[in-house]
């Protein structure tokens, strides 16, 4: 079984805590792509997303000692970046009332603010130049709620055994232990099954 | 506050283990997002640069805005030099405005203005790759660096006792 992102991050973070300077640099290398997709999935433009990702790393430098469980470092970073993205966006532009709480019930005020720009809308060219499979899938993804689009985007850049913890850090706990499909992916699969253009047989035994 | 059970409208199959079809969908999604919205190539490098500073305890200023081509819009025609750019950062107490202009040959000029905090800002540290320069802040909160290399940079603002009032994330000049 190959190491997941959480596994690799834990190893780097333990090295950092033990005083190995390169441990932190390696941690930045390993987790920055995931944090980018967290920030962008929260509706930030590219510049604000870059800012928020850097702020997340600066926060970790300061708070590293307070993280009791090194294995939780990815969850901590995802949570920190998600919340900071929410604050950044609230400052960036006023939030309209009808953007709020439009989806499932929330437990945390920071979760109530997933707005309609959560996924960047690509230009027609960017989609058109992709293959048929990507185009079909993308059309269905855009029918999902913003929260589901954000969750699936981040999960897509994670490793399967980490899905439950990362979902929780995104404020969308899947409510079960282990890598189950979850409601967002289940909805997407149901939509794809009704689409003749999506060929599940094409998959074969691969994957 | 609503405390609706998130499983109310659970679609069928949500509790199933992931299968090869799910893995294919997620792999496709990673491919699509990677194509539409790639991670900036130097983002990790900039984050590593940012965390290597000395003032780790200082408040990290938040990016408020970046304004490209302010000079061009104002009718200024800079001959061959990079267009002027304004970046604004803020904390609860301070607003830091940086104006970056080109002076040709990969060199830059930086002019800054720090507002707020009752004029407590006295010194600005400009960190670049491989070097740091300190510049004094005027009574009006202004400071400047005439000549610096293009590339990654980070600013820290200090009071007269040397305490760090704020630091910025890494930005590119």
Chain B from 36 to 65: CB within 8 A of any A CB: 36-37, 39-40, 43-44, 46-48, 50-51, 56-57, 60, 62-64
Using a 10 angstrom Cβ sphere, with 0-12 exposed, 13-18 middle and 19 or more buried, the burial of residue B156 is buried
User: Residue A136 pLDDT > 80, yes or no?
Assistant: yes
The SS3 assignment for B148 reads strand
The residues, ordered by sequence, that sit 6+ positions from B105 with a Cβ below 8 Å of its Cβ are: none
pLDDT over 90 (residue A203): no
Which range in A16-30, A92-106, B66-80, B92-106 is most confidently predicted, on average pLDDT?
A16-30
pLDDT tens digits, B33-73: 999 999 999 999 999 999 998 777 889 999 998 887 644 44
User: Helix axis angle, A146-156 relative to B20-36, nearest 10°?
Assistant: 100
Query: Which pLDDT score, from 0 to 100, does residue B76 have?
Result: 43
Contacts of B123 (CB under 8 A, 6+ apart): B134, B135, B136, B137, B157, B158, B159, B160, B162
Cβ of A105 within 8 Å of Cβ of B60? The answer is: no
pLDDT over threshold 60, residue A119? no
Together in a domain, B76 and B127? yes
DSSP 3-state of B165: strand
pLDDT at A28 over 70: yes
Same-domain pairing of B14 and B86:
no
Is A185 within 8 Å of chain B by CB?
Answer: yes
Residues of chain A with pLDDT > 90, as a percent, come to 52
For testing the chain A interface, which of B1, B17, B47 should be mutated: the one with the most A CBs within 10 Å?
A: B47
Does residue B169 register a pLDDT over 80?
Answer: yes
* C-alpha dihedral, B86 to B172 to B126 to B89, nearest 10°: 40
Q: Which residue has the higher pLDDT, A17 or A98?
A: A17
Q: Is A59 part of the contact surface with chain B (CB cutoff 8 Å)?
A: yes
- Same domain flag for B60 and B106: yes
Say if residue B113 is in the same domain as residue B75: yes
A83 and B CB contact within 8 Å: no
Of the partner residues B3, B5, B21, the one whose CB lies closest to the CB of residue A203: B21
Domain count, chain B: 2
Work out the mean pLDDT of chain B and round it to a whole number.
Answer: 85
Closest residue, chain A, to B20 (C-alpha): A207
| pLDDT grade for A179, boundaries at 50, 70 and 90 | low
Q: Indicate left, alpha or beta for B83 from its phi (over 0: left) and psi (-120 to 50: alpha).
A: beta
Do B86 and B14 lie in a common domain?
Answer: no
Q: What angle do CA B119, B122, B127 make, to 5 degrees?
A: 130
Residue percentage of chain B with pLDDT more than 70: 85
Same domain, B53 and B33: no
Chain-chain contact of A25 with B17 (C-beta, under 8 angstroms)? no
A51 and chain B in contact, CB less than 8 A: yes
Q: Please indicate, yes or no, whether residues B29 and B94 belong to a single structural domain of this protein.
A: no
* pLDDT tens readout for residues A78-114: 999 999 999 988 876 544 443 333 333 333 334 333 4
Q: Which of B1, B21, B26 sits opposite A155 (nearest CB)?
A: B26
Nearest CA in chain A to B171: A51
Dihedral pair phi/psi, residue B63, rounded to 5°: -65, 125
Q: Work out the minimum CA distance from B115 to partner chain A, whole angstroms.
A: 19
Closest CA relative to residue A27, chosen from A39, A16, A43, A41: A16
Contact state of B15 with A176 under an 8 Å Cβ cutoff: yes
Which range of A85-99, A189-203, B12-26 scores highest in mean pLDDT? It is B12-26
In 3D space, the residue among A41, A42, A43, A80 whose CA is nearest the CA of residue A60 turns out to be: A80
What are the two backbone dihedrals, phi and then psi, of residue A113, each rounded to the nearest 5 degrees? -120, 50
Radius of gyration of chain A (CA): 18
- Rounded average pLDDT over A54-79: 94
Q: How far apart are CA A123 and CA A78, in angstroms?
A: 28
Instruction: Indicate the residue of A25, A48, A57 with minimum beta-carbon distance to B63.
Output: A48
Quick one: B50 and B15 in the same domain?
no
CA angle A4–A117–A73, rounded 5-degree value:
25
pLDDT at B145 (0 to 100): 95
Q: Are residues B17 and B92 in the same domain?
A: no
Q: What gap in Å lies between CA B147 and CA B144, rounded to an integer? A: 9
Q: Which residues of B touch A153 (CB under 8 A)?
A: 29, 33
Contact assignment for B18 to A160 by CB distance below 8 Å: yes
- Measured between CA atoms, how close is A207 to chain B, in angstroms? 6
For position B91, which CATH number holds? 2.60.40.760
Give the torsion sign (CA, B145, B149, B155, B158). negative
- Distance CA(A185)–CA(B13), nearest Å, equals 9
Q: What is the full DSSP assignment across B59-99?
A: PBPEEEEEEETHHHHTT---SSSPPPEEEEEE-SSEEEEEE
End-to-end CA distance of chain A: 15
Q: Are residues B115 and B154 in the same domain?
A: yes
pLDDT of residue A174 exceeding 80, the answer is no
Residues of A in contact with B41 (CB under 8 A): none
Read off the pLDDT band of A202 (50, 70, 90).
low
CA dihedral A87→A182→A32→B126, nearest 10 degrees, is: 0
* B78-90 average pLDDT score: 72
- How far is it, in rounded angstroms, from Cα A68 to Cα A186? 34
Phi-psi region for residue A174, left (φ > 0), alpha (ψ -120 to 50) or beta?
A: alpha
Helix, strand, coil shares of chain B, percent, nearest 5, are 20, 40, 40
Q: Given a cut of 60, is residue B82 above it in pLDDT?
A: no
The rounded distance, in Å, linking the Cα atoms of B97 and A153 is 34
Note whether B102 and B65 are same-domain residues: yes
pLDDT of A146-164, one tens digit each?
989 999 999 999 988 888 8
Range of the domain at B26: 1-38
Alpha-carbon gap, residue A34 to A37, rounded angstroms: 5
Whether B50 and B30 share a structural domain = no
């Amino acid at each position: 079984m190959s190491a997941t992102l959480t596994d690799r991050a834990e190893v780097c973070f333990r090295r950092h805590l033990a005083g190995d300077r390169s441990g932190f640099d390696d941690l930045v290398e390993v987790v920055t792509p995931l944090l980018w997709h967290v920030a962008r999935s929260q509706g930030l433009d590219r510049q604000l997303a870059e800012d928020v990702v850097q702020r997340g790393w600066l926060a970790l430098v300061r708070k590293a000692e307070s993280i009791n469980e090194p294995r939780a470092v990815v969850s901590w970073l995802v949570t920190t970046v998600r919340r900071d993205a929410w604050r950044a966006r609230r400052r960036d532009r006023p939030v309209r009332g009808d953007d709020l709480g439009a989806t499932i019930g929330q437990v945390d005020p920071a979760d109530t603010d997933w707005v309609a720009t959560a996924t960047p809308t690509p230009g027609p060219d960017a989609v058109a130049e992709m293959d048929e499979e990507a185009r079909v899938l993308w059309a269905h993804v855009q029918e999902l709620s913003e929260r589901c689009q954000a969750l699936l985007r981040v999960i897509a850049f994670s490793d399967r055994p980490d899905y439950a913890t990362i979902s929780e850090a995104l404020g969308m706990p899947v409510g079960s232990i282990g890598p189950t499909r979850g409601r967002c992916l289940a909805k997407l699969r149901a939509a794809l099954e009704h689409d003749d253009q999506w060929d599940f047989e094409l998959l074969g035994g691969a994957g | 506050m609503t405390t609706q059970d998130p499983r109310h409208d659970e679609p069928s199959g949500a509790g199933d283990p992931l299968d090869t079809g799910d893995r294919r969908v997620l792999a496709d999604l990673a491919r699509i997002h990677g194509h539409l919205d790639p991670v900036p190539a130097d983002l990790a490098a900039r984050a590593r640069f940012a965390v290597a500073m000395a003032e780790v305890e200082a408040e990290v200023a938040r990016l408020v805005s970046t304004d490209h081509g302010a000079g061009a819009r104002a009718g200024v025609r800079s001959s061959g030099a990079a267009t002027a750019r304004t970046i604004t950062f803020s904390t609860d107490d301070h607003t830091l405005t940086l104006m970056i202009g080109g002076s040709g040959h990969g060199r830059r000029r930086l002019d800054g203005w720090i507002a707020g905090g009752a004029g407590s800002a006295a010194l600005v540290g400009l960190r670049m790759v491989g070097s740091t320069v300190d510049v004094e802040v005027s009574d009006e909160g202004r400071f400047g660096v005439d000549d610096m290399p293009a590339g990654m940079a980070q600013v820290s603002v200090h009071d007269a006792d040397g305490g760090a009032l704020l630091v910025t994330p890494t930005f590119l000049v």
